[in-house]
Amino acid sequence: MGDIAKGVLGGAWTLLVGWILPTALNLSVFFFAVAPSLHHIDLAQRLWPSSKVNTAVLLLTVSLLLGLVVSAVQTLLYRLLEGYVLWPATAYDARCRSHRQTKRDLRDRLALLRLEGREREGGLPPEAARQLADLRASPRIARAARRDRLRTSAQRALLQERLIRYPIDDDQVAPTRLGNAIRRLEEYGYDRFRLDTQVLWGELTGTAPEQVRRHEELARASVDFFIALLYGHAAVAAAALAALASGDADRPALLTTAAVLVALIPLWYRSAVTATDEWAAAVRALVNVGRKPLAESLGLALPSELAAERTMWTLVSRLSRLPYHERAAALDPYRADPQPPLVWPPVPPPTPPRPGS
């Protein structure tokens, strides 16, 4: 019973922090900054609470209901910010090309700094020297290198941080920074082990150690918080601008509210992108630690060789994603030996009583 309560409360905590709390914050801004300009409307007068206690109850109730609704449509909200929904094809392709170029530039800038450091330490082999000359000859990289050489070690580490927020495969690059930051964690299992976490996510999280799975949920909740805050700010700012049309609107308050909220939206977006770093670390731990219990739960034995393991997970992912085909029998060599049935020793018959006893 205690384990059940712990699981329910754990799921409620991520829902509370990720969606209900930011919804309550946005509604509070609406209640205190926008709603006073709507009091003259008959519907608002009838619905508005008559006391502070009733106002708090209304705020809590609406926050809970809207938080649940926003959580239910979170996939759509994420995909819009990732660039997968409502993006014209031309804009999608242009932004993907731009991010691929940014990724290449970051990689080349870091390579230039690394090669120059090796050159100062004692020379380079011919191939590395040619690579260094090519990088120095690039006008784009040369301009950035002049600034990069003035950076401290910590500032150069930020360049590496920006680079690792991109997926390794250029074909997986998304049109937005958030899309790329999330795509790199979705790509990790497949790139390292050919374990398609998008297909086997339910099985992986169902068999992973509790502490690792909980870490992933909490890390995801941090990103959810900023996503909900961002959308809520946009909705309240739109409501503030729409309220300007009312006759008794407090125009300075509404304009200030809309301006502040719109100015904060890029901050929450950047915060969401940064928060994916912890989420990516949690998913990495989930894949690294959860592969063995996942294989065991599927009746498979984890191979000792990495190449064989990659082949095994390719077959498992394909079997889960595609209809059954005879080629799935290639998974048989990876199946664990069945345990022999437990045989109890025979029970000796009872000894008959002796005559006359």
DSSP-derived secondary structure for 258-290: HHHHHHHHHHHHHHHHHHHHHHHHHHHHHHHHH
Q: Which pair of structure tokens corresponds to residue 334?
A: 């990876």
Instruction: Give pLDDT, residue 31.
Output: 87
Beta bridge partners of residue 300, listed in sequence order:
335
**pLDDT one digit per residue (tens) for the chain, 357 residues:** 444 444 444 568 899 999 999 999 999 999 889 888 877 666 555 666 666 777 788 888 999 999 999 999 999 999 999 999 999 999 999 999 999 999 999 999 999 999 999 888 887 898 999 999 999 999 999 999 999 999 898 888 999 999 999 999 999 999 999 999 999 999 999 999 999 999 999 999 999 999 999 999 999 999 999 999 999 999 999 999 998 887 778 899 999 999 999 999 999 999 999 999 999 999 999 999 999 999 999 999 999 999 999 999 999 999 999 999 888 889 999 998 766 555 556 666 666 666 655
Q: Which pair of structure tokens corresponds to residue 28?
A: 């509070």
Q: Structure pTM? A: 0.86
In single-letter form, the type of residue at position 75 comes to: T
Q: How far apart are CA 144 and CA 109, in angstroms?
A: 7
Instruction: Give pLDDT, residue 299.
Output: 93
Which residue is it, tokens 């712990």? 6
Distant-in-sequence, close-in-space partners of 153: CB < 8 Å, separation ≥ 6:
none
